[in-house]
Structure 1
Amino acid sequence: MHLGNARTALFSALFGDRFLLRIEDTDSERSRSEFVDELIADLRWMGLNWDEGPENAEPDERYFQSCRGAIYQRYYEELEQQGRAYFCFCSPRELEISRKIQLSSGQPPRYTGKCSHLTADEVSRKLDEGLRPTLRFRVPKNETVEFEDLVRGPQKFATDDIGDFIIRRADGSAAFFFCNAIDDALMGVTHVLRGEDHLANTPRQMLVLAALGLPIPQYAHISLIMGDDGAPLSKRNGSRSLKQLREEGYFPCALLNMLARLGHHYDCDDLMDFRTLKANFDLSRLGKSPARFDVAHLDHWQQLVVRSADDETLGGWLRKETAAIVPEEHLAAFIEIVRSNCVFPDQADRWARILFTDELQLDPDAAEAAAQAGESYFLSAIDAANAAQADFDMFLRELKTRTGAKGKALFMPLRAGLTGRLDGPELGAIYRLLDPHRLHRRLAEFTYESE
């Protein structure tokens, strides 16, 4: 799943009384069991628990469209008997040429109806020739399809602008908007929330359902998500799959809080759990303008989740190799450093290696700060550490007295020498967590630069 369909799933779960998961897998080339497994894993990771739907990738005729062909066939036959559907033998090339001619003439591209008047004998002859037809729905002429979109307001479509459309492909599989409409009716779906790119499908589905005497749900077409550059969201401008986000260490609660506010307004800017997000979700607060994704927005919520997480949660969030580095007796203190200074597991791993291993890389700015302080500063720091031992407050007083430094001149060289960086956790926490021998070695590294 990517951010767009994840948000659609979230909005459906936040709005509905019952949340349905249906596997729309009529396109065999794009549908594999491993994709279903990943989809289910993504939804469960987000905490979106469906009231109806499959539990795994095992085909189930109740929720897998690939298993419901006999159901769709029954409705195809009903439409054929009504004269509302007919075989179309036009090739893809013919349709493309017709489309280009219409566009060049300034007309909306739609099917010309070439096969709509074939006689039974003509159809039989083409079938005998081995041609494999699609099945088209016969759209009534000179009518208007109207409905109230729950986000976009009143909608009106002229049937003459729609054209007869395919409801069954040449390979016998059901077209998207046909099987979806049938399943919505049969599964008791009352509301459909989906992207506005599906808006043009809605009058088609309504025409099919009306022809079959099936109930029509209410529709809400939500705005699309754009990248921070204003272009449709893609890998190029920041989109990632949920699997990627999970592997990077994002918490699902951070993703939920970000997605719930993409095109939807909450009065409260606090971090909310799913129950609270649902209680305050309102379709009337969905905007019509495109929603813009900014990774900084997601990282803001991630930071809030990390800051509010308990020790057990953060401990489980750490990478296994990170947890293996941290001595058990220092785990609680290290997790407090993580909570205050890290947003992702790789940052926690970096601090674990700084504090509990001999791996230390000096950033250029840190190297400059250490060099400006000079050898005498670090000799004084070693003497202060010997005098103070584990008492950081005493160490700092000693260092200040011996060097006469204060402010940044006091703290920055020390931070550079102990961590190789000029930012990070409070210096007292670093001092107390560093092994005394490692602390002395790091300070001593800056006392022999003249040699």
Structure 2
Amino acid sequence: MANSRKPRAGCRRSLVAVTLLRYFSPTRPFRYPPMPPIKTRFAPSPTGLIHLGNARTALLSALGGDTFVLRIEDTDGERCRREFVDELIADLHWLGLEWQEGPQSAEPDPHWFQSQRGSIYKDYYRALEEKGLAYPCFCTPVELEVSRKVQLSAGRPPRYSGKCAHLSVDEIRRKRDQGLSPTLRFRVPKNQAVEFEDEVRGPQRFASDDIGDFIIRRADGTPAFFFCNAIDDALMGITRVLRGEDHLANTPRQLMILAALDLPRPRYAHISLIVGDDGAPLSKRNGSRSINQLREEGYFPEAVVNMLARLGHPYDSESLLGVAELRAGFDVNRLGRSPARFDVSHLDHWQGLAVRRAADDTLWTWLHAETRAVVPEAHRADFLDIVRSNCLFPRQADAWAKVLFTDELELEADIAAVAQSAGEAFYLAAIDAATESPDDFAAFLAGLKRRSGAKGKHLFLPLRAALTGSLDGPELAKIYQLMDKPRLHRRLAEFTYESE
């Protein structure tokens, strides 16, 4: 039976149908419509050196968008300092995070420094006041603290009581004439739900009645975080905000501000916070360090970036990846909700890969100047091979350079005991074997075995202890090759009676 339903007069194709027809037809293959570009940002307050948590937020923001913006939120004039902006920019460059929009120096400008954007915020304050969506509040800090304690003691969430929400024009004028400087509060609509889809944490719903009217301008005239952060995201075209989960409760406030001003809202992705290996929030006590400290300790930026990218986000590859490769493998939907646990051994794993992959020139520059000064040019390449296999940090390379190329060798008591356990005859045999085969370690070893009868650990451990002051480290063949023979003879002779 034929379908008797007829299309209504004037019926138009739906937007979905039109879109599908545009990208699919029987005469050409299907292709998805292009995705709009994603614009992300990192917006730190320069009140100190950036630590691992800040750096992870910056990294994930850079990985999670097509355009990356740096914005300086420096409205706290007492705590924000210009030298911290300099250090911030240097740290981001060192990590390999390059921004397409933002400052390249600490010189404040009205495009990227919030302290210079007061006139912009002033216009939006005025717009809210004209709509009746913001009002001056003359409540003192003491009054607010008393109200807060009363609400908490009654088992209610602390929020502003609305005391100044209905002041008349004359009342406001009288208070101003008394010299009182008000804050400006946003008038939160009653009995509404603020809902959004968080890209990490899923659907979110907040009741406006649980929020209360909040401050958007402080009494000194500076903007509150809720306000200028949201305004700048909209004006700068930010389409995705990646930030710590501690900002999740700020989001409904910012969405209400944007809606009230008819400004576009970004998508939000609230990432888990980093905790130490003890499960507590990351701090100096359980391993947190600034990026500046990590750089000074000798960590390679590739190691730091690979460790941070994988905190709470799996990658298919276990290889050391560059920023571009990390971006290609990043998916905001793979970010975990559980706290990301920092373990220094994880960081050191990536440091080992970075050291082994480093080019000779890079590795040579990475070493301390004092170490470079004692390594003979003829032995540079061989020494760098030892560094790759045995060192994570320049200070460890310092120690091996002293062992191999100077006479600075002091044996700890337990190491000296291992060396002495072989006896004088062992070292006399070693000196003879070294004299016979100065350039051939295999021949030296065979001669020592033949002369001393020692083998296995009774051969290798005393020899290593006497030559290096350690029971592990580079292959003995490499040590024998690099150490000049007069120095090698002197170290062996230390354990013969003739040296006493």
Whether the TM-score (by the shorter chain) exceeds 0.5 is yes
Contact kept in structure 2, 1:365 and 1:421, CA below 8 Å:
no
Q: Does 1:298 align with 2:347?
A: yes
Give the share of equivalent positions with the same residue, in percent: 71
Tell me the amino acid that sits aligned with residue 352 of structure 2: Q
Q: Tell me the distance in 2 between the aligned counterparts of 1:94 and 1:387.
A: 91
Q: Does 1:124 align with 2:163?
A: no
Matched, 1:393 2:461: no
**In the TM superposition, what is the alpha-carbon distance from 1:98 to its structure 2 partner?**
1.3
> Deviation digits for residues 363-388 of structure 1, max 9, x if unmatched?
34321211211121111111111111
Alpha-carbon offset, residue 450 of structure 1: 9.6
- How far did residue 284 of structure 1 move? 1.1
Q: Give yes or no for the alignment of 1:67 onto 2:102.
A: no
State whether structure 2 residue 478 is matched by structure 1 residue 423: no
- Whether the aligned pair in 2 keeps the contact of 1:375 and 1:449 (CA below 8 Å) is no
> Which of 128, 132, 136 matches 2:185?
136
| CA RMSD in angstroms, aligned pairs only | 1.0
Is residue 347 from structure 1 mapped to residue 357 from structure 2 by the alignment? no
Deviation (angstroms), 1:448 = 2.9
Structure number with the higher helix fraction is: 1
Q: Letter of the aligned partner of 1:36 in structure 2?
A: V
Alignment of 1:166-315 (within 5 A): 166-315=215-364
In the alignment, is residue 36 of structure 1 matched against residue 85 of structure 2? yes
- Alignment partner for residue 420 of structure 2, among 353, 366, 371? 371
1:329 to 378, 382, 393: 378
Match of 1:108 in 2: 157
Runs of 4+ in 1 over 6 A off after TM superposition: none
Structure 2 Cα separation of the partners of residues 389 and 435 of structure 1: 9
Task: State whether structure 2 residue 68 is matched by structure 1 residue 19.
Answer: yes
Is 1:403 the counterpart of 2:437? The answer is no
SS in 1 for 2:288: coil
Question: Over residues 19-74 of structure 1, what are the superposed CA-to-partner deviations in whole Å (9 max), with x where a residue is unaligned?
Answer: 00000000111111101001000100000000000000011100000000000000
- Please, which moves more after superposition, 192-201 or 97-106? 97-106
User: Which residue of 148, 151, 158 corresponds with 2:200?
Assistant: 151
CA distance in 2, matches of 1:100, 1:260: 42
1:319 counterpart residue number: 368
What 5-or-longer segments of structure 2 have no aligned partner? 1-49
Whether 1:54 and 2:103 are equivalent positions in the alignment is yes
Determine if contact 1:365/1:422 at 8 Å carries over to the other structure.
no
**Aligned-residue offset at 1:445:** 0.8
Question: Could you tell me how far 1:181 is from its partner in structure 2?
Answer: 0.3
Q: Which amino acid aligns with 1:135?
A: L
Q: Matched residues in 2 for 1:59 and 1:373: separation?
A: 69
Distance 1:312 1:306 in 2: 12
Task: Report the CA distance between 1:114 and its aligned residue.
Answer: 1.0
Question: AA paired with 1:77?
Answer: R
Q: CA deviation at 1:253?
A: 0.4
Conserved 8 A contact 2:493-2:499: no
Count of equivalent residues = 451
The residue identity in structure 2 corresponding to 1:312 is D
Instruction: Quote the Cα distance in structure 2 between the aligned partners of 1:157 and 1:75.
Output: 24
How far does residue 211 in structure 1 lie from its aligned partner after superposition?
0.2
Code of the residue aligned with 1:207 in structure 2: it is M
Alignment match, 1:384: 433
**Distance in 1 between residues matched to 2:156 and 2:397, nearest whole Å:** 59
Secondary structure of the corresponding residue to residue 336 of structure 2:
coil
Q: Structure 2 CA distance, aligned partners of 1:363 and 1:119? A: 82
1:84 corresponds to which letter in structure 2? Answer: L
Distance change >3 Å, CA 374–CA 89, structure 1 → 2 = same
Which residue is 2:30 aligned to? none
Choose the corresponding residue for 1:3, options 48, 52, 55. 52
- Give 1:343's aligned amino acid: L
Post-superposition offset of 1:449: 8.9
Question: Counterpart of 1:442?
Answer: 491
- The Cα of 1:236 is off from its aligned counterpart by 0.4
Secondary structure of the structure 1 residue equivalent to 2:194: strand
Q: Of the candidates 142, 160, 182, which is equivalent to residue 93 of structure 1? A: 142
Task: Call closer, same or farther: CA 1:71–1:320 in 2, change over 3 Å.
Answer: same
- For residues 168 and 74 of structure 1, what CA distance do their matches in structure 2 show? 13
Distance 2:338 2:257 in 1: 30
Deviations 1:389-438 (A, max 9, x none): 12111111111111111111111111001000001100011111111111
Compute the TM-score of the two structures, normalised by the length of structure 1. 0.99
One-letter identity of the residue aligned with 1:412: L
> 2:372 and 2:385 mapped to 1: Cα distance?
14
1:97 Cα deviation after fit: 1.5
Question: Counterpart of 1:341 in structure 2: which amino acid?
Answer: N
Structure-2 separation of matches of 1:449 and 1:135: 88
Q: TM-score, normalised by structure 2?
A: 0.89
Contact 2:415–2:469 (Cα < 8 Å) also in 1: yes
